[in-house]
Amino acid sequence: MSELFAAGPAGAFATWVAALVTIGVWSYLLGQRRIFRLAQQLLAGLATGYLVVISVRDVLVPRLVQPLAAAPLQHPELWVGLALVVPLVLAAWAPRRIVAVPVAVLVGGTAGFALGGAVAGTLMPQLGASLVSPTSPGGVAGGALGLVVTALVLLSFLHGTRRGRIMGGVTALGRWMMVAGLGGFLGFLLVSRLTLLVDRVGFLLGDWLGILR
Amino acid sequence: MSSAWRRRAFLAPIVLLVLLSLAELAPRLSALQLANPDASRAEALRAALAAVPADGVALVDIDADLGTYPEVRPAVRAALDQLVRRGVRIAVVSFSAEGRAIASAELDRMQRLAPAAPLLDLGFRSGAEAGLVRSVRSIVPEGVGGAVAAEIRRRGGGLAAFDAALLIGGGEIGPRAWVEQVRTRVPQLQMVAIAPSVLQPELEPYRASGQLKALLATVRDDVAYVSAVGGWSAPRPGVAPVSGREPSALAILLGMLVAIGVLVEALAGHLLGPVGSPASRGQEER
């Protein structure tokens, strides 16, 4: 039981809607594209409406409108933010040079956060963790295997240089390692999606039909 | 496409759904256990949440996505249940709109099933990673009151005020963003994560390096954890239980076999070339 809906008429109605939409989406498997498209449009419309509501209610009003209305001079950073957002909103009509400023700030800020976090939070700690000398034979073997696989995959990206026979074999092996990695990822994806399908079947049998308890 | 192939293509999904339904309805077989027999990961999460003091405050970041949340839902509810049972105060926050929708539903469910649970809804924080960094200094919105909010403000008002952070991943802001943006700024915050299987390859290095104290990222570990903390059981008064049944191992096994069969057929068709491929067979029949 998902227990997402409360007991009572509203919960029963929500369960029925969810069940019918689930069956509507599955109808695509039987070639019924109209119902599937309707469900798609319903999802897109609801998601857009939800985003608008959450943007207005949780972001714009409490974090921009209310502080500016209450004390306009105490929040200079909000005025700067507003000045950057307005050209973005008017991007279709505003001159490119004006629009480029907030876009540059946006891209630069995002890249700064992402790059800084990736180096300080992932690259350095992970390098440090992999440099720890393993104590058990299994750890040594695992570390060596990891090193070999990493080297092979990195070598498979070697472009622009002449490859000899050995190097050609090494890069081909590296590519196969990547394919094996992708296969493993797809395996995880398959299990994940399968669990969702089983969950939906469980929802129909349990929450909707009440056969499973 | 020939009529025989069309019929097969029409019947195959129906047969699969019927098989999955039968597997769901069938009694659980003791020979088919979904729970991972190596319960070390489940135990790590249980121990990390048990280490939160009973008078402590835990932050739950729900940033799952709607497409993968059902996979982790039982483990998430069991973890919340584990915290609520011990009286730990819980603050729930989301940094993605999708996560906020799930958080709203889960908060609603908890308030229905465990009205006495000390919960604080911190709402949706905009700005993605920038919002995450801003929360390091201040996470409680102005105007939010109550005992839990007062305790967080008393402890500084930022992420350092929490004894632990339970991260529910799957969406755009997940455990990786937390490790990169928050752990570098608040290293003392203990972070544990529950994420769908697709994120396992990405997050496993963080668990191995100790940046994540515990990680559940496979269905088998999720089931092992729920079993370890006493889930799949009857409702207990005053707490929000993990009700329902353990996911059917038989259904998942059947689905895996069907998927492998489809892959083998596609591979055989590819290897056999024009003679074996369904498309060419259809052309020949035409």
Residue B9 pLDDT > 60: yes
| pLDDT at res. B249 | 86
pLDDT class for B286, splitting at 50, 70, 90? very low
Of A50, A74, A98, the residue at which a domain comes to its end is: A74
Domain range holding A122?
76-130
Residues of chain B contacting A212 with CB distance shorter than 8 Å = 24-25, 245
Average pLDDT, integer, range B105-122: 90
A120 touches chain B (CB under 8 A): yes
Considering only CB atoms, A114 lies closest to which of B13, B20, B129, namely: B129
Pairwise CB contact (< 8 Å): A129 & B210: yes
On whether both A153 and A173 belong to a single domain, the answer is yes
Residues of A in contact with B255 (CB under 8 A): 194, 197-198
Minimum Cα–Cα distance from A53: chain B residue: B97
The string of pLDDT tens digits covering residues B124-151 is 999 889 999 999 999 999 888 999 999 9
- Give the 3-state secondary structure of residue B91: strand
Taking CB atoms and an 8 Å limit, are B24 and A129 in contact across chains? Answer: no
Question: What would the mean pLDDT of A137-143 be, rounded to a whole number?
Answer: 81
**CA A148 to chain CA mean position, Å:** 30
* B234-265 confidence digits (pLDDT tens): 455 555 555 556 788 898 889 889 888 888 88
Is A83 found in the same domain as A67?
A: no
Average pLDDT over residues A180-207: 89
How far apart (Å, rounded) are the C-alpha atoms in residues A176 and A182? 10
| Beta carbons within 8 Å of A62's beta carbon, 6+ residues apart | B141, B142, B143
Task: Let me know whether A22 and A63 are in one domain.
Answer: yes
Q: Are residues A212 and A141 in the same domain?
A: yes
Q: In the A/B pair of chains, how many CB contacts fall below 8 A?
A: 143
What is the pLDDT averaged over residues B106-111? 90
B240 → chain A, closest CA residue: A3
Q: DSSP characters for B46-64?
A: HHHHHTS-TT-EEEEEE--
| ipTM reported for the complex, 2 dp | 0.84
Supply the pLDDT for residue A130. Answer: 79
Whole-angstrom distance, CA of residue B52 vs CA of residue A157: 46
Mean pLDDT across A30-51: 93
Task: Examine the domain organization and report whether A80 and A69 are in the same domain.
Answer: no
Lowest mean pLDDT among A26-40, A65-79, B226-240: B226-240
The answer to whether residues A195 and A156 belong to one domain is yes
For residue B278, pLDDT beyond 70: no
Domain stop point among A62, A97, A130: A130
Distances (CA, A) of B139 to A51, A116, B59, B145, B158: 21, 22, 10, 13, 5
Tell me the shortest Cα–Cα distance from B115 to chain A, in angstroms: 14
A3 shares its domain with A29: yes
pLDDT, one tens digit per residue, over A82-131 is 999 999 999 999 999 999 999 999 999 989 989 999 999 999 999 888 77
Say yes or no: A111 and A68 in one domain. Answer: no
- Which chain A residues in 8-67 lie under 8 Å from chain B, judged by CB atoms? 26, 29-31, 50-51, 54-55, 58-59, 62-63
Q: Give φ, ψ of B173 to 5 degrees.
A: -105, 110
Contact (CB, 8 A) for B173 and B63? yes
pTM tops 0.80: yes
Domain count, chain A: 3
Share of chain B above pLDDT 90, in %: 56
Pairing mode of beta strands B214-216, B190-194: parallel
**Domain identity same for A166 and A205:** yes
Q: What are the CA-CA distances from residue B176 to residues A133, B4, B63, B93 (Å)?
A: 25, 49, 12, 16
**Residues A61 and A88 grouped into a single domain:** no
The predicted model gives B177-201 an average pLDDT of 95
With 60 as the cut, is the pLDDT of residue A187 above it?
yes
More confident residue, A53 or B247: A53
Per-residue pLDDT at B282 exceeds 70? no
Identity at A196, one-letter amino acid code: L
- Inter-chain CB proximity A122 and B180 less than 8 Å: yes
For residue A6, give the nearest of B13, B112, B201 by CB distance: B112
Which of A191-205, B4-18, B215-229 has the lowest average pLDDT? B4-18
Q: Are residue A88 and residue A126 in the same domain, yes or no?
A: yes
CB contact under 8 A, A3 and B129: no
Q: Find the range with the poorest average confidence among A2-6, A49-53, A77-81, A114-118.
A: A2-6
Q: What is the mean pLDDT of residues B26-31?
A: 81
Confidence of residue B220 (pLDDT cuts 50, 70, 90): very high
Q: What pLDDT does A144 receive?
A: 85
Domain boundary among A90, A115, A130: A130
Task: Give the domains, in start order, of chain B with CATH numbers.
Answer: 40-228 (3.40.50)
What's chain A's average pLDDT?
Answer: 89
The yes-or-no verdict on residue A213 having pLDDT over 90 is: no
**Where is average pLDDT lowest: A35-49, B4-18, B93-107?**
B4-18
Question: In chain B, which residues have their Cβ closer than 8 Å to the Cβ of A43?
Answer: none
Which of B144, B209, B215, B245 should we substitute to test contact with A (largest number of A Cβ atoms within 10 Å)?
A: B209
Distance CA A101, CA A95 (A): 11
Query: What is the rounded CA–CA span in Å between residue A1 and residue A206?
Result: 6
Q: Are residues A38 and A55 in the same domain?
A: yes
Instruction: In whole angstroms, give the CA distance from residue B114 to residue B111.
Output: 5
